[in-house]
Amino acid sequence: MEKVSIEYLPYTNEVEGPKRWDEEKGEFVQVSYKQEIWHLAYFELKKGFYRGSHYHEKKEEFFYVISGKIRAIFYDIDTGEKAEHILEKGEVINIKQRCAHIFYGIEDARVIEFSPQIYDKEDNFKVNF
């Protein structure tokens, strides 16, 4: 799907840019690198619940899965294309404008959401999945 990209952050501390690694004192994650961020949020998604079921005209979104598993469904408003993916710890998801999305908690999950645009409640369009 063109409006969604999903990748694991490299598991190393030897590269420049976003990455993650574990050390004796705990996990370290650099979620973003050289990226302007105007919106930053953290949320939990409990097993059996969902978040989302909307799209944005202006806001591009990024999500980093800190822990847990999420079933994600994406729907491209312009093409009608639909995709599904199981999201896990260490993955970064980039969702472009006009791509509806819903996240279902397969396990209790923790997620960071960030965006180069501000959050505007008027730029939140509901979709029934």
Q: What tokens were used for 3?
A: 């409006």
SS3 122: helix
- Separation CA 128–CA 92 (nearest Å): 24
Please provide the average confidence, as pLDDT, over all residues in the chain: 97
CA atoms within 13 A on the CB side of 101: 26
Instruction: Give DSSP secondary structure letters for 5-38.
Output: EEEEPPB-SSSSSSEEEEETTEEEEE--SS---S
Residue 89 pLDDT: 97
Domain tally, the chain:
1
Query: What CATH number did the domain enclosing 65 receive?
Result: 2.60.120.10
Q: In what order do the strands lie in the sheet with 99-105?
A: 82-88, 69-76, 99-105, 50-55, 125-126
Condensed to tens digits (0 to 9), the pLDDT of residues 108-120 reads 999 999 999 999 9
Give this prediction's pTM: 0.94
Residue ranges making up the domain that contains 94: 4-126
Condensed to tens digits (0 to 9), the pLDDT of residues 50-74 reads 999 999 999 999 999 999 999 999 9
